[in-house]
Amino acid sequence: MNDEVEISPILNPSPEGKDLNTDAKNSSAKKSSSEKTSDKKDETVTVKIDAAGIQDRLIALPGDAGNYWNIEMLNNKVYYQKNSAGKDAQLYVYDLKKKKETAIGDYNTYRITANGEKMVVTKGSNYYVIDVPSGKADVDDKVDISGLKVYVNHTEEWTQIFNESWRQMKYFFYAPNMHGVDWDAIKTKYAVLVPYVKHRADLTYIIGEMIGELTTGHSYVGGGDMPKPERIKMGLLGAGYVRDASGYFKITNILQGANWSDALRSPLTEVGVNIKAGEFIIAINGQPTNKVTDINQLLVGTADKQTELTINSTASTTGSRKVLVVPIADEKQLRYYNWVEHNIHYVDSVSNGKIGYLHIPNMGVDGLNEFIKHYYPQITRKALIVDDRGNGGGFVSPLIADRLSEQLVYFSMVRNVTVGTTNPEVFYGPKVCLVNEYSASDGDIFPYRFRALHLGKIIGKRTWGGIVGIRGSLPFVDGGFMDRPEFTSYTADGFAIEGHGVDPDVVVDNDPAKEYAGIDEQLDAAIKELLDQLKTQEKNIPPVPPFPDKSK
């Protein structure tokens, strides 16, 4: 199967209109010059690195704390990309002579040509060729790649990708015994299907089935050379609505937002909107809602755009008002925010203020932020529910487990404050951990740590059971990927968690019908467990002792 496809340049694209014959002539001239000097004796330069005490010869370059990557050295200048706190990622250059850092621009990435004279930068999906800059660089003449094409034999390419997938697993899979699977036989089993592949999705499926024979979590394959149709964003209002007998749509509920954050913006709760649950959406951008089958038909393409809603307290155009809102493209984060807030208030209400609640969505940046955001404001609660359900994994479980396992060593007080506070700020009371079958990866490891550190009971369902880790793959020729499970954890007793998960101390499964109705049986079980423990294990901060009298 031969197809003509477009490709993108990586280095040294020829600017539009450049005479390629000139390059050939220059190349020939250089070759002739080099031949004249070929008789000269080669001069060998030997570079020796004195490793002893090398750490004492380090020199720190000034700069903000942040994430630095794509670092290149050229003559007396260092080029790098940086993303520091409160600032967007940009390309920078640091001049070692002038000891000065300068922002070149907000480019996606860059490459310096082999001769050190030109730089290729990308902005969006466009490529630009510029002289290697010493300071800020503006670009306006993008490289025209519309005529840059290559013929691809998909049959040969897909065969190579299949073989490369098999090879990467053979030499990088964490267990050299391939879990007892005859890996050569597995290749033979699936290779016979490759000639029948007619679409990249078919190849992805075959590779997925092949690596699935190893029965290991984190074995993912995807991407590649597939059509990328333009998507039309769906506008969402962050609200629920039902069709009224009149044909208009009545707002049943409005999701509360943290409107200072773009990720948690709720369109109908923003300042000046003043729309309430129970009101009717009469029209959207002038189109009556009682004339469409689904109100969402009128919200197609409205995401992040000013949209006019006609609102009324009754199902009528008479007395209606027009309101401008900006719909969002995704309600996932907004719904998650409302779910967590509901759980916090529910636990607080049912326990009469005694029990705190926090949820950890993953073991990455978001998970750590959520933990810190909700842990310290509830530090004075008598007990704590740590909800690990649906945790997508990551790498910060040791940090959270360490914080939860800190021991209280003494109390502190401040003048004019009647109650002593803990020092350091640690949770002074019983805890439980909620888990389910979607507690995965480092979300598996966290409850394992929770139990090993004797932090409290684990409640819910057995966790996902996949802790063999990944760190990417060598890219396939068509840009696809396959994650290779390369490393894992084990205990003195052997490998743990992988393929089984962590069993809870108290097994509770949420009934889907009840959960849909808003009843969280696992959360209720956690509340009951802690209230029972508080009957005998409630800890109170002792009062401030009498102050010393040093007059005697």
d(CA 228, CA 427): 50
Burial of 366 (0-12, 13-18, 19+ CB in 10 A): middle
Q: Are 484 and 207 in contact (CB under 8 A)?
A: no
As a residue count, the chain comes to: 552
d(CA 383, CA 372): 17
HEC sequence for 34-75:
HHHCCCCCCCCCCCCCCCCCHHHHCCCCCCCCEEEEEEEEEC
CA 272 to chain centre: 33
HEC sequence for 108-166:
CEEEECCCCCEEEEEECCEEEEEECCCCCCCCCCCCCCCCCEEEEEHHHHHHHHHHHHH
Helices 183-191, 154-172: axis angle to 10 degrees equals 160
Q: Which residues are catalytic?
A: 218, 441, 498
Distances (CA, A) of 399 to 369, 466, 528: 12, 20, 28
Q: Are 539 and 429 in contact (CB under 8 A)?
A: yes
Closest Cα partner for 78 from 58, 97, 65? 97
Those residues with Cβ within 8 angstroms of residue 183's Cβ, 6 or more apart along the chain or in another chain: 166, 169, 170
User: Residue 319 gets which letter from DSSP?
Assistant: T
